[in-house]
C-alpha cells in the first residue's frame, strides 16, 4: 500500500470534534510568512529560508534563542494583533472553539513595551473571534531565569490590565535556573488578584521540579511534566489531585526534552510517554506549545499521540479534558 493510499491516522468524525487548546504561546505561533512581513515592516527584511533555518534546533537552549529572536519582531499592538488573527484562523480550521493563549509578558516588559496597550489590541481581536465561534482567554507568563522581581511585575501588569480575559499566571523559560521557592510570593499575589496558577516543570528538569511547583506554589496545571514518568508516587499524586499535565509531543521531540528524559541521544514520537501517563490515571491535555516553531498543529499532535500508541477512544477522552481542565472560570 502506497503512503498516499494509506487510511488516515484519525477518523473524520474525530477530526470534526470541537477542541480546546490550553498550552499555546502566541509568540511561538509566528508563521515564517508573518515573520517576514513583520521584519520588513520594521526595516530588516529577511527571507523565509532564514526563518526556516532559525526554526531548527538540536536542544532546548537552541529553541530559547530562536524564541528570543522571533519575538523581537513583535513591537507594538498591531504586531500582536496580526499574529493572533493568523493563529485564530488556523485554530478555527481545526475546529478549535476554545484556546488559552500564553503571552510572554515578561519579555514585553524586558523590551519596555506598553503591556496594557498590547493587551487592549489582543482583547479587541479576541472579541471578534468570539463572534466567529472561537473563545480566547489569556495567560500572562513570566520568564523563570529573569527572577522573582521580574515575575512580580508580570502579575502587576495583569492587575493593571484588569480584564476578565486574563485567567492565569504562569512561568516558563529555563526551569533549572531559579528555585521554585523564590516565586512563592509572586504566586500568592497572582492568586490574590484572582488568577489561576500554572508553571512549566518537568520538561527538561526532573520530577523534583514538578513536586516543588505543586507543593510550594500551588499550581493547578503543569506545563509538559513528562519527567513524572520517573516517579510513580508523583504520578499517583497527580492522578489523585487531578492536576493535569499539558502534553506537547512534537515540542518534546524538537527541543530534545524527550531524549533528555529518556537518557538517550535521540528520541521520536513513538517513544513519547503520553500513553503511560494517561493509563496511570494522570490527567492530560494535548497542545502544540509553539506550533509554527515546531512545525505542528493540534490535529498533528493528536496524530502524534495516535502514533505513540494511543487509541482513538482514549484521544476522545483527552479532547474532553481540554475543556474540563480549562481556566474558563476564575478560581473561587
Instruction: Catalogue the active-site residues.
Output: 203
Taking the CA of residue 109 as centre, how many other CA atoms within 13 Å lie in the half-sphere pointing to its CB? 19
3 state DSSP class of 179: coil
In sign, the C-alpha dihedral spanning 228, 274, 203, 242 is negative
Quote the DSSP letter at residue 269.
G
The distance in angstroms from the start CA to the end CA of the chain is 55
What is the gyration radius of the CA atoms in the chain, in angstroms? 19
Quote the DSSP letter at residue 26.
S
| CA nearest to 68, candidates 99, 106, 16, 18 | 106
Taking the CA of residue 134 as centre, how many other CA atoms within 13 Å lie in the half-sphere pointing to its CB? 25
Residue pair 154/190 in contact (Cβ under 8 Å)? The answer is: no
For residues 229 and 109, give the distance between their C-alpha atoms in angstroms, rounded to a whole number. Answer: 35
The secondary structure of 210-267, three-state, reads HHHHHHHHCCCEEEECHHHHHCHHHHHHHHHHCCCEEECHHHHHHCCHHHHHHCCCCC
Amino acid at each position: 500500500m502506497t503512503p498516499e493510499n494509506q487510511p488516515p491516522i484519525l477518523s473524520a468524525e474525530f477530526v470534526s470534534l470541537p477542541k480546546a487548546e490550553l498550552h499555546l504561546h502566541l509568540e511561538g505561533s509566528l508563521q515564517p510568512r508573518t515573520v517576514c512581513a513583520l521584519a520588513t515592516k520594521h526595516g530588516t527584511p529577511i527571507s523565509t529560508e532564514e526563518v526556516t533555518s532559525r526554526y531548527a534546533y538540536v536542544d532546548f537552549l537552541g529553541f530559547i534563542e530562536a524564541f528570543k529572536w522571533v519575538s523581537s519582531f513583535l513591537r507594538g499592538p498591531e504586531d500582536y494583533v496580526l499574529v493572533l488573527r493568523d493563529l485564530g484562523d488556523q485554530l478555527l480550521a481545526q475546529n478549535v472553539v476554545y484556546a488559552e493563549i500564553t503571552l510572554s509578558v515578561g519579555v514585553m516588559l524586558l523590551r519596555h513595551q506598553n503591556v496594557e496597550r498590547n493587551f487592549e489590541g489582543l482583547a479587541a481581536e479576541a472579541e471578534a473571534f468570539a463572534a466567529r465561534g472561537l473563545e480566547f482567554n489569556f495567560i500572562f507568563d513570566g520568564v523563570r531565569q529573569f527572577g522573582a522581581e521580574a515575575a512580580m511585575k508580570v502579575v502587576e501588569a495583569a492587575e493593571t490590565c484588569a480584564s476578565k480575559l486574563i485567567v492565569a499566571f504562569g512561568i516558563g523559560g529555563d526551569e533549572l535556573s531559579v528555585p521554585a521557592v523564590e516565586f512563592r510570593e509572586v504566586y500568592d499575589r497572582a492568586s490574590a488578584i484572582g488568577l489561576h496558577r500554572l508553571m512549566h516543570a518537568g520538561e527538561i528538569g526532573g520530577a523534583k521540579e514538578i513536586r516543588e511547583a505543586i507543593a510550594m506554589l500551588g499550581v493547578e496545571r503543569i506545563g509538559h511534566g513528562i519527567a513524572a514518568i520517573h516517579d510513580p508516587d508523583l504520578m499517583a499524586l497527580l492522578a489523585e489531585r487531578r492536576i493535569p499535565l499539558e502534553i506537547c509531543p512534537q515540542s518534546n521531540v524538537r527541543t530534545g526534552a524527550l531524549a533528555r528524559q529518556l537518557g538517550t541521544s535521540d528520541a521520536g514520537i513513538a517513544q513519547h510517554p503520553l500513553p503511560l501517563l494517561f493509563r496511570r490515571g494522570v490527567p492530560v491535555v494535548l497542545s502544540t506549545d509553539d506550533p509554527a516553531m515546531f512545525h505542528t498543529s493540534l490535529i498533528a499532535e493528536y496524530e502524534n499521540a495516535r502514533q505513540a500508541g494511543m487509541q482513538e477512544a482514549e484521544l476522545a477522552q483527552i479532547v474532553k479534558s481540554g475543556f474540563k481542565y480549562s481556566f474558563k472560570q476564575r478560581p473561587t
